[in-house]
Amino acid sequence: MKTQVAIIGGGPSGLLLSQLLHRSGIESVVLERKTKDHVLGRIRAGVLEQGLVRLMEEAGCADRLHAEGYVHDGTLISYGEEMFRIDFTEHTGTPVIVYGQTEVTRDLYAAREAAGGLIEYEVEDVVIHGADTDAPHVTYTQHGEPRRIDCDFIAGCDGFHGVSRRTIPPELRREYEKVYPFGWLGILSETPPVNHELIYANSERGFALCSMRNEALSRYYIQCSLSDRPEDWTDEAFWQELKRRLPAAQAEQLVTGPSIEKSIAPLRSFVTEPMRWGRLFLCGDAAHIVPPTGAKGLNTAASDVHYLHRGLREHYATGSSEGIDSYSEKALSRVWKAERFSWWFSSLMHRYPDQGPFDLKMQVAELDFLRSNRAAQKAMAENYVGLPY
């Protein structure tokens, strides 16, 4: 088979890139290791920056997002019994949209299918060949059959555990990593959200987050130990612990019910440089990971896709390689700022095993400062709604 861009990974990065390329008249094939149902079964991001919303519009996939997404003009931050609000719209003129990654992915699948786009599911043994030559190709097996795609370019959109990043020779890539000494235990429950905006809670028992998907579906997280397993936590134990980490007024209002999903995510900051090797380009979690505290993972994947789409479009339209040559540098410049914000917000909100009394005082001082200083609130709001691209 021949195509212009072979895309490895059918998560949000790969699907969005494929759909944007299609709208620019560029052909691609998406190779996904799992089934569509499996990809749609993952409960992940919930908060979309305006930049991603614009890309979904450009992709022709934003109707449902506009109809069903929730506009959030701010967020609440609590510490102990104190709580304050950061007003995104007041400080930046821009809200965020609460609309689950599952729905983003569903909309992108629907658009690819409507356009007759080729997505190969349940592919195994994907190998990238000749990325540093002018004639790369990808081999894989599907249901036991060997397959090959010849292409002009390869987009590595295969997440943190994919093959694309590891195809770049180790001597040519540099990796930066910070692993956090805790995870997030998350549940989804068919209960009304405790609040119409998100609550990020710093408590002496550890971090908690109250999020939502819609008026009848809530998403809650609590900081947990890395040795915990989801089955160690009954729903009752989860709700008890969540209540202890919220200010009393919010804890009292919390409506509890059975969980319909429960999972633990470890927290990590990770960046690989460069994000390009020859004709292979890395996008999204394949190149970088942020702890979820700032809601930046999917949004940073989207800005990579934007830069790569622009570069490829320019290349096919004019023959210029300027956009693709500057891809890694442009993407990384924004990635590092999202890394900084996610690391800062994580550090501010969690309990760390090695935290002494001084460190705890620093957290409180920083929270007091954020609560009362408009410049600090503006900086937080600008980062949360997403730096421009």
Q: Active-site residues: which are they?
A: 72, 200, 292, 296, 384
Q: Which stretch binds ligand RFL (CB under 6 A): 28-36, 242-250, 328-336, 353-361?
A: 28-36
Task: Tell me which residue has tokens 């040795």.
Answer: 227
> Can you state the angle between helices 12-23 and 50-58, rounded to 10 degrees?
50
Please say which residue, 164 or 203, places its beta carbon nearer to ligand PHB. Answer: 203
- Whether the CB-CB separation of 88 and 384 falls below 8 Å is answered with yes
Strand-strand pairing, 47-48 and 288-289: unpaired
Number of residues that bind ligand RFL (CB under 6 A): 37
Residue sitting closest to ligand PHB (CB): 46
What are the φ and ψ backbone dihedral angles of 282, each rounded to 5 degrees? -95, 140
Least distance (Å) from ligand RFL to the CB of residue 342?
A: 9
Dist CA 194 CA 346 (whole Å): 22
Length of the chain: 389
- Whether the CB-CB separation of 99 and 12 falls below 8 Å is answered with no
For residues 187 to 226, the per-residue mask of contacts with ligand RFL, x marking binding by CB under 6 A and - elsewhere, is: ----------------------------------------
Please say which residue, 31 or 62, places its beta carbon nearer to ligand RFL. Answer: 31
CB-side neighbour CA atoms (13 Å) of 16: 33
For residues 88 to 117, the per-residue mask of contacts with ligand RFL, x marking binding by CB under 6 A and - elsewhere, is: -------------x----------------
Decide: is 271 part of the binding site for ligand RFL (CB under 6 A): no
Decide: is 265 part of the binding site for ligand RFL (CB under 6 A): yes
Dist CA 159 CA 301 (whole Å): 10
Decide: is 305 part of the binding site for ligand RFL (CB under 6 A): no
Least distance (Å) from ligand PHB to the CB of residue 298?
A: 9
Least distance (Å) from ligand RFL to the CB of residue 13?
A: 3
Please say which residue, 74 or 186, places its beta carbon nearer to ligand RFL. Answer: 186
Task: Tell me which residue has tokens 């022709």.
Answer: 60
Task: Tell me which residue has tokens 């920083």.
Answer: 366
Dist CA 79 CA 345 (whole Å): 13
Q: Which residues bind ligand PHB (CB under 6 A)?
A: 45-47, 198, 209, 211, 219, 292-295
Q: Which does 123 bind (CB under 5 to 8 A by kind): ligand RFL, ligand PHB, none?
A: ligand RFL
Q: Which does 3 bind (CB under 5 to 8 A by kind): ligand PHB, ligand RFL, none?
A: none
Written as six digits, the tokens of 8 are 């490895």
Decide: is 137 part of the binding site for ligand RFL (CB under 6 A): no
- Whether the CB-CB separation of 194 and 219 falls below 8 Å is answered with no
Q: Which does 304 bind (CB under 5 to 8 A by kind): ligand RFL, ligand PHB, none?
A: none
Classified as helix, coil or strand, 175 is strand
Beta strands in 14-151 (DSSP E): 28-31, 47-48, 70-72, 74-79, 82-87, 96-98, 118-120, 123-129, 137-142, 145-150
Decide: is 123 part of the binding site for ligand RFL (CB under 6 A): yes
- Whether the CB-CB separation of 383 and 341 falls below 8 Å is answered with yes
> Contact with ligand RFL (CB under 6 A): which of 5, 7, 11, 332?
11
Binding residues (CB under 6 A) for ligand RFL: these are 8-14, 31-34, 39, 44-47, 101, 123, 126, 157-159, 161-163, 184, 186, 265, 284-285, 292, 295-299, 301
